[in-house]
Amino acid sequence: MTDVAIITGAAGGIGAATARRLAATGTRCVLVDSDPLVEKVAVDVDGFAVVGDPSDPDLSTKAVAYAGDGLDALVLNAGIGCAGWDPAMLDLRGYRSAVGLTQHAVVYGLRAAIPVMRRRGGGSIVVTASFAGPVSDRHDPLSMMTAYAVAGLVRAFARPLAREGIRLSLVCPGRDEEIGDDGVLGNVLPSADEMAAVVEDALRAADPGARLVVRPGMAPVPLAPVPLH
């Protein structure tokens, strides 16, 4: 049976780069995104696209149904930020969307995929989340809030899932501050290809409960592992 991976947030960036890497190894990819461009990525990797809102639990169920019993890997990568420094001035629509994609979509994805992995006898799951989760970040308080929630979820579920042969790990793109050519201090993130390489390694080899921070041009740095015994 051909291994199948579901990747959310796959219309571009980390998700699309991960799909290309996995497809090159023979994995069949089911790609999920609200952006119709995900259909083009699916054609490029000879995969299948599911267009819709990843924060809709029915969409997770639909993606798992397309993956079938071959579902071996799940990459929960969908997410957006919501800028806001003043709680009194928050855009509530943007806030709900950010929480839905960054937190709820992870829960719905796990809920839909894990029963299939249990029947297979195991699988591997990688969640991507902002560096603001495992390491406090003054730049983006709302991303910090949602990423803390996702990091906590991974910590809580990694141990019981590992006992069933399902590896769950967290990969976080970390930013470096750098002076640009214009003399302005800016944030530099790892490239999509850098992140995809770490995601692939985490799917195939990472210890259960691994939490990795990826900075531009550097090897991933593990944070304290989740105790599994």
Segments making up each domain of the chain, as ranges? 4-222
How far CA 49 is from CA of 36, 41, 97, 110, in Å, comes to: 9, 8, 21, 19
The answer to whether residue 101 scores a pLDDT higher than 90 is no
Cα(130)–Cα(171) distance, integer angstroms:
8
What digits encode the pLDDT tens for the residues 20-64? 999 999 999 999 999 999 999 999 999 999 999 999 999 999 999
**Cβ pair 10, 33 in contact under 8 A:** yes
Cα(86)–Cα(162) distance, integer angstroms:
40
pLDDT value at position 85?
A: 65
Q: What is the dihedral of CA 173, 27, 63, 146, to 10 degrees?
A: -10
Cα(209)–Cα(125) distance, integer angstroms:
10
What digits encode the pLDDT tens for the residues 102-130? 899 999 999 999 999 999 999 999 999 87
| Fold category of 4-222 in CATH | Rossmann fold (3.40.50)
The answer to whether residue 183 scores a pLDDT higher than 70 is no
**Cβ pair 213, 131 in contact under 8 A:** yes
The answer to whether residue 16 scores a pLDDT higher than 80 is yes
pLDDT value at position 94?
A: 80
Name residue 126's beta-bridge partners.
Answer: 75, 169
Reported as type and span, the H/E element at residue 193 is helix 192-205
